Structure 1
Amino acid sequence: MSRPCCSRCHYPTFTCVCGALTQVNNAIQVVVLQHPSEVKVAKGTARLLSLALNNMQLFVGEQAQDFEQARRYLADFEGQIMLLYPSDDSVAIAQSSRDGGQRTLLLVIDATWKKAYKIWQSNPWLAQYPQLRLSGIDGQYRIRKAASANALSTLEATAYALNELDGSDPKPLLHLFDYFIDRQMAAMPHQVKQRYPSKGE
């Protein structure tokens, strides 16, 4: 028997996030390249972004041929495109040369660190776009293992990147993220919950 789901956010009713959902009219368009393994991950945050951001597109794939539609979409975009990925050639967002008079599109890879690297290696066409990196921010993704303390979820990385690029308030997205984590943890059996740090730890 399937679990009842919220008709708005489509999460199971006991983890519904509508209580913290605020629509964000992001001026910078966000395009997410999502690894196929993330599509059905209950703890994934690209889904939260798709609920909150009014200006977002998502494409699923890993190899170059998977992203043919995404490449056509990007080719039709009139403005500057930037990739949020800490490659060897990336620059800190604060040091990036964004033209505020142009439309801007931010590309974000949604995957584990290892699989994001595979997408980067398998798609040399991504290197045509300036690569940006975040630094000095600790992630708060308490319910999913991370490679390091400053490894950010897709939602966190996008929220902070938009804030640094155009001053967008990250609070609506971060509040949604925190609420999502609390709802997920509240639904966990006690023995599972003990595996994860409490808020503030």
Structure 2
Amino acid sequence: MSKKILFLVGDYVETLEAFVPFQALGAMGHECVAVCPDKQAGDTVRTAVHDFDGAQTYSEKPGHLFHLNGDFDGVNPAEFDALVVPGGRAPEYLRLDDRVLDVVRHFFREDKPVAAICHALQILSAAGVLTGRTCTAYAACGPEVSAAGATYEEVEPTEAVVDGNLVTSPAWPGHAKWLKAFAGVLAGAA
């Protein structure tokens, strides 16, 4: 059954973490709507390519423009069946927006499916929705996830962690398992 899925993105969202799930879930027949605070349908956000190329942390390069197809100001989370939050640098500032945090809280309060990857857990931590949950994130976000009351599970970047309606992965190399697990959660959602 087709679901309506909200994507929360912002400038310098990780390229693959925005494009791949948006296109893959769309190809599965779901309706995907991407929004960003203070932007409208037809606007774009800049993306960043985070790569693992031998440095002690990821490197960052300019990515493609990601086109929004929804207006953040008009979003009613009650109209959506699920939420996807990509990582990158966008979560650093999106977590400072009370409206973003309220949207995230809605999905947890209503026990709707949520997929978050990499630095996206910064938003979930700031929203206060991780207490008692088990999840993963980019390793540098692990202490933040633990401080938010979650059990941080350190797994390989190619893995995913499922805790009820929450599906997380450390980074884009985990897309295959993360998206497969999220599709399973979506299929089981009422």
Q: TM-score over 0.5 for the alignment?
A: no
The TM-score range, normalised by the shorter chain, is 0.3 to 0.5
What is the TM-score of this pair, normalised by structure 1? 0.37
* Higher RCO (CA 8 Å, separation ≥ 6 residues): 1
Which one has the largest radius of gyration?
Answer: 1
What is the TM-score of this pair, normalised by structure 2? 0.39
